[in-house]
Amino acid sequence: MKFLLILLVFLFCSCSLKSNTDENSQGVEQGHGDGRHEVLETGLDPNADNDGDFVKNAAELSLGRHPLVADIPELSINFLQNYKITADARSISTGEITKIEIDTRVGRNNPSFKYRVGELFVRGNALRSAASVGRFSSHSSGEIEDHDLSWVKYPDVDPAFYSEQVLKYKKYFDSADFEITNLKITLENTVKLKGNGYFRSIKNLKLNFYYYNYETQNFEIIAAKVVSRHFEAGVVETFEVELDNVPSLLIEDNYFKKGEFIISEVADYEIPELESTYRTLLASVKEKCLPVIVTTPLGTSVSYVGIDGVHARPATFSQILSILYDKNVKIEDDRLSQIGEWRNNLSEFTHLKEVADLDKAGKWFVFTKRLKTTYLDHKFTPIDVIVLTYATGKELASVSLEKIYSFEANLSTSESFTIFPLGVSSQNSLIEFQLKPVKRIGEELGNFQDAWISRGGSCGQNCISRDFVCEISINLFKPIEPKFTLTTETAEFKRMYLIVDHDEYSLEQLMKDKKIEIQNMNGNLHLRIPDIEKIKEVTPGEETNLALKIMAFTNTTFHGVKLNSFTGRDRGYCIPMVVDFSARSGFPLSVESAEFGGWRGGVNWNAVKLGENKTYFQGMEIAVTSVINNYFN
């Protein structure tokens, strides 16, 4: 056994690079065993640099370092969800300038704000692949680009905060009347150089920032920035980067329409101890090394298992793991079952939703470039990539298959109702939409009651008082007050419905039944549906169509002055009185007046307006934006 171990070490040298991870987030520690003694036993040239880190084998041994593991500055850099977008929106027609400011710091004041940090491209790709094949296989393959190992996708912003910004500012980017100028993005980042004793500092950190241009279908660089400072080992440094003259397409197409943002990477930095740069050092390492990415719920590490670039020899999957880890690695039934503390303990499932609540149980998935044989039989070389992902049931069930975005700046009920399509969802989806009040439309009714009363009897010498009671109502209409607030208590909210396929559900009732979650976002209502099946059962594998329905209030009633009743010995006096009142006030005389058919013929309709019954409505205009996140299932 020892002979075999020595032979393997002789054949395969290893080196390690970690990036974009916290020093406590590796999750799996690499063991070096007695490798530094075996190097000499195997006869490796003490004057050679078998791990490509610019330090000769003998020198590394004398420093207590592992000659077969490249020592590269271990830089933990987080591109945080701290950013501010500012711009000027100038109206071409009026010249008026509106200031645009989207600041996630403001959003974080809300206790429901969900904070996130970015992740490597390759981690997202591996999780998507694992979610797509999880119930069938523990291995999948696909395209892996070089930049997948270094590009970091900025985190998706909190959905409620994001929706609020869409409703507030998207109209300026959509309207031909507005010109967007002075578009700037300010980003906050943290960097920590792990204090491992090998590198005391780095300096002049260079960062590249990209976005995907959907018009050209290419990634394009926005800016390259150099942070001119020293970063000392063990110290967390926070700094801001300002990007000027940002393309408006990034906000218009990527941010507002697709919820995407910036891509960033550590492009280079200087390493004083080596009198070299990260880029130069990494190029040397890559000549001899196979990238191995290990991602667990605690974080992601990028390591390199080396095969000498001059005398390259292919390595099997198990040989690579034996070089990286001393112990606690198991391959059982042709599957990777354990690395370190992370063991396969996720039960079998048919649909991912079945394991969506399991945040402690998971399994290992292997993701590689496309292979002609099984990954256990394949002979890996430095041009290959291995991604090892330990994913919990909850993580797998939360991997996005697609996101469907919708937006309408002026959704109006008109005189009856309108239906706004939200998109399609599946059994495993998260539905969120936000509503912003724009204005009320229609008419409001003013109703007044009055009575003319005379009790009869003597009122003095030669005076007799008439005996009558004339009860009247007055209905007057005027344009409704346009400004309104939208809460779960207002009449407008109570006229809103969720349509699931052909079935309608009152939002008010869904809220009472706790089947939807609602929060107030500075006057907007943000609605969240974490489980559509609490509302209506969805057949696995089938899609269901969702829409929002908003209705106007309509009613038919009398118009003008109405004689409700007239009583008393001299009640006939009420008729000329109400006719005269109608003529002098200009209010129509309602056809709904008591006994109208008996006395309408005696009215001079040239002086009095006829008050036919009137149908009126009270509607609304709202702005709505929605995101349906359909997960793998």
Whether residue 459 is contained in a domain is answered as yes
Tell me, what DSSP letter sits at residue 217? Answer: T
Whether residue 55 is contained in a domain is answered as no
Q: What pLDDT shows up at residue 310?
A: 40
Q: Which domain-ending residue is among 344, 379, 398?
A: 398
Phi/psi of residue 104, nearest 5 degrees = -70, -20
Do residue 301 and residue 426 come from a single domain? Answer: no
pLDDT tier at 157, thresholds 50, 70, 90: confident
Q: Which domain-ending residue is among 378, 398, 418?
A: 398
Whether residue 37 is contained in a domain is answered as no
Whether residue 8 is contained in a domain is answered as no
pLDDT in tens, 256-296: 988 888 898 999 999 999 999 999 999 998 888 888 899 99
Least confident of 17-26, 517-526, 581-590: 17-26
Do residue 384 and residue 237 come from a single domain? Answer: yes
> Would you state the structure tokens that stand for residue 348, as one six-digit string?
């079998």
Span 400-420, mean pLDDT? 94
Do residue 325 and residue 451 come from a single domain? Answer: no
Do residue 384 and residue 450 come from a single domain? Answer: no
Q: Cα dihedral sign for 466, 467, 470, 471?
A: positive
pLDDT in tens, 332-368: 999 999 999 999 999 999 899 999 999 999 999 999 9
Whether residue 403 is contained in a domain is answered as no
Do residue 382 and residue 472 come from a single domain? Answer: no
Proportion of the chain above pLDDT 90, given as a percent: 63
> Would you state the structure tokens that stand for residue 547, as one six-digit string?
């829409």
Strands 524-529 and 517-521: what pairing? antiparallel
Do residue 378 and residue 468 come from a single domain? Answer: no
Whether residue 64 is contained in a domain is answered as no
Do residue 382 and residue 417 come from a single domain? Answer: no
Cα–Cα distance for residue pair 631/430, rounded to 1 Å: 8
Q: Which domain-ending residue is among 368, 398, 428?
A: 398
Asked if residue 628 lies in contact with residue 431, where contact means CB atoms within 8 angstroms, the answer is yes
User: 454: domain range?
Assistant: 408-633
Q: What pLDDT shows up at residue 45?
A: 79
Do residue 370 and residue 418 come from a single domain? Answer: no
Span 20-38, mean pLDDT? 42
Span 177-191, mean pLDDT? 91
How many domains, in total, are found in the chain?
A: 2
CA distances, 9 to each of 5, 39, 269, 288 (Å)? 6, 8, 32, 14
Closest C-alpha among 597, 595, 601 to residue 574: 595
Which burial class, exposed, middle or buried, applies to 453 when counting CB atoms under 10 A from its CB (0-12, 13-18, 19+)?
A: exposed
> Would you state the structure tokens that stand for residue 186, as one six-digit string?
């300010």
Question: Around 222, how many Cα atoms within 13 Å sit in the side-chain half-sphere?
Answer: 27
pLDDT in tens, 530-550: 999 999 999 888 999 999 999
Least confident of 44-53, 136-145, 617-626: 44-53
Whether residue 42 is contained in a domain is answered as no
Do residue 553 and residue 531 come from a single domain? Answer: yes
Q: Is the pLDDT of residue 237 over 60?
A: yes
> Would you state the structure tokens that stand for residue 507, as one six-digit string?
């939002």
Do residue 357 and residue 461 come from a single domain? Answer: no
Do residue 486 and residue 376 come from a single domain? Answer: no
Judged by DSSP in three states, 218 sits in strand
pLDDT in tens, 308-334: 544 446 789 998 898 788 789 999 999
Whether residue 54 is contained in a domain is answered as no
pLDDT tier at 23, thresholds 50, 70, 90: very low
Q: Is the pLDDT of residue 573 over 80?
A: yes
Judged by DSSP in three states, 614 sits in strand
Do residue 277 and residue 255 come from a single domain? Answer: yes
pTM of the prediction? 0.83
Q: What pLDDT shows up at residue 133?
A: 85
